[in-house]
Structure 1
Amino acid sequence: MTTKRISIIQQAVDVLDCFTGEDSNLSLADLNTMLEFPKSTIHRIVISLLDAGVLYYDQKTQQYSLGTKVLRWGGSLLNRLKIQDIVRSYLESFRNQTGETATLTVLVGLKRMYLAQVESNSEIRMSVELGKLLPLHAGANGKVILAFAEQRLFDQVISEQSLPSLTDTTITDKNQFREELQRIREDGFAVSLGERVYDSVSVAAPLFSISGELVGSIGLSGPVHRFTAEKAREWGPLISKTAKEISRTMVWIPGEHLHSS
């Protein structure tokens, strides 16, 4: 590999590194300020990364963020790291006690992503796609994350975006949704009755790092004929209690991995 190619690759890595800081949404002007190579080079690299799906461009804010390809890479890596050691035993316990699928979800920008699951042993069961970005307004995991998120994230999702209907039971009215999130905060967990996937029921509780940063959620999901809303609510307090227990021992490093303290 030539020195020139190595230099270009390193510059592309430097561009991507800019998105691993506290602010993961950056404009071209931000990148020009943060990086020391020519603006024309930065622009060329950004366009290439955008075309490859490594970066995403928001027309409304005119800012860039990491694209779904990077998130899928990260999801694949995270799936093999210590997050499994921390959470898997809890997920297995939930699965064994309830007979339903237990999941770990993490917050990614204005979306969420399933990072791990322990599937039900039943022939008819819920199964999620790991690494896929999903909306925050539909489903127990998304709602509970949004309910306990910082005000800025809450405002971005609720005030600046629509709440598209995914099923007949998706909450699309913003006032009704705010009331739902308030109930979730009071209960400490969220329940969804087919809001994202038809004929499914889910329950989830928020997961924080040891420093209090919102990481995501843990939850249970199952087919409505077996895992009813009443059963989901019965498990809510235990899931909430367990999430707090996990949170007391977990350090969250955005973009890297979870590890025990």
Structure 2
Amino acid sequence: MTNDGRIKSIQTAFELIEGLEQLDGARASTLADHVDKPVSTVHDYLQTLEQIQYVTKHDNVYRPGTRFLEIGEAERVKRPLYQVAEPELTSLAEETGELATLMVEEHGKGVLLDIEEGEAAIQLHTYPGVRMPLHTSALGKAILAHLPEERVDEIIDEHGLTAMTKNTVTERDRLDDQLEDAREQGFVIDRGERIDGVLCLAAPILGRQDLVLGAICVCSPASRIDNDEDLERIRDAVMRTANMIQVNLNYSDTR
């Protein structure tokens, strides 16, 4: 066990699994070089992970297995937020014709919990489970705006304010101003802060006592939302959907 209470063997196993994902599959020797561990150690771990069906092996190349998908999907569909939000998010995508997404915060990162595509949805090559720094997206800032200030401090201290594009907010004072605006307006817009040329508008989902449960957003090519009327249409649809999810969640809690 390490000084901070971590069990070293478990940490090593997950470092190897993450390494396989980063390398898009690898032989034991390649993975050993990647994680800077002895080949014999890596080989023993991989053999065990294969035996318990968490990695696969073909032509001596190891890859993460679909057991992770099985566990992750089972956890996702059990969440009340997903159960309530998924049909509303589908309707939002259909109404706007755009890409609609749902995010939650976990360990200080934003995690996409659901993605629904409208008829003209932009293709961002993303998928449920993708993690991203909260400060780089409208979704993340909608969540940050409603977290306790001390929690925001912890997240920024741990993860920093790294730039994803030239438009990413990397100054704490400017971020704080945006979070204050988000609380007052009830929505957040990011213009190419995570992906160049993409505009996203997000609103938080709040539970009882204004506890932030997540956020939803609509993303579109910025060129397609080029006037106030289009922006207001998207804003109204997102805020109405967020409110519907909140009402349905609160109702389900009382049954």
Structures share a fold, TM > 0.5?
Answer: yes
- d(CA) in 1 for partners of 2:235 and 2:68? 29
Post-superposition offset of 1:207: 1.1
Using the TM superposition, give the Cα deviation of residue 208 of structure 1 relative to its aligned residue in structure 2, in angstroms: 2.3
> How many angstroms apart in 2 are the aligned matches of 1:120 and 1:138?
23
Distance 1:126 1:50, change over 3 A: same
Q: Equivalent residues in 2 for 1:1-150 (5 A)?
A: 27-28=4-5, 46-53=7-14, 75-81=72-78, 83-122=81-120, 124-150=122-148
Consecutive unaligned residues of structure 2, counting only runs of 5 or more, are 16-64
Q: How does 1:122-201 map to 2 (within 5 A)?
A: 122=120, 124-158=122-156, 162-201=160-199
Give a deviation string over 1:182-205, Cα, whole Å, max 9, x none: 111111111110101111111111
Distance 2:161 2:172 in 1: 8
Distance 1:104-1:201 versus aligned 2 partners, 3 A rule: same
Indicate conservation of the 8 Å contact 1:84/1:116, yes or no.
yes
Aligned to 1:213: 211
Pair 1:240-2:239 in alignment: yes
Distance 2:227 2:123 in 1: 16
Aligned partner of 1:76: which letter? E
Give the % identical residues: 25
State whether residues 94 and 117 of structure 2, in contact with CA within 8 Å, keep that contact through their aligned partners in structure 1. no
Closer, same or farther: CA 233–85 of 1 in aligned 2, 3 Å = same
Q: How does the TM-score come out when normalised to structure 1?
A: 0.66
Q: C-alpha distance in 2, partners of 1:232/1:72?
A: 36
SS of residue paired to 2:153: helix
What is the root-mean-square deviation in Å for CA atoms of aligned residues?
Answer: 3.3
Q: What TM-score does the superposition give when structure 2 sets the normalisation length?
A: 0.68
Q: CA deviation at 1:180?
A: 1.1
Secondary structure of the corresponding residue to residue 173 of structure 2:
helix
Give unmatched runs, 5+ long, in structure 1.
1-25, 29-42, 55-68, 252-257
DSSP 3-state at the match of 1:249: helix
The alpha carbon displacement at 1:175 in A equals 1.1
| Structure 2 counterpart of 1:249 | 248
Conserved? CA contact 2:146–2:211, under 8 Å? no
Structure 2 CA distance for aligned equivalents of residues 163 and 91 of structure 1: 29
Higher helix fraction: Structure 1 or Structure 2?
A: 2
SS at structure 2 position matched to 1:250? helix
Distance verdict in 2 for CA 1:117–1:161, change over 3 Å: closer
Contact 2:202 2:238 in 1 (8 A): yes
SS in 2 for 1:148: coil
Q: 2: CA distance between counterparts of 1:112 and 1:74?
A: 19
Equivalent residue letter for 1:236: R
Aligned residues: 202
Cα distance change, pair 53–136 in 1 and its aligned pair in 2 (3 A): same
Residue type of the alignment partner of 2:185: D
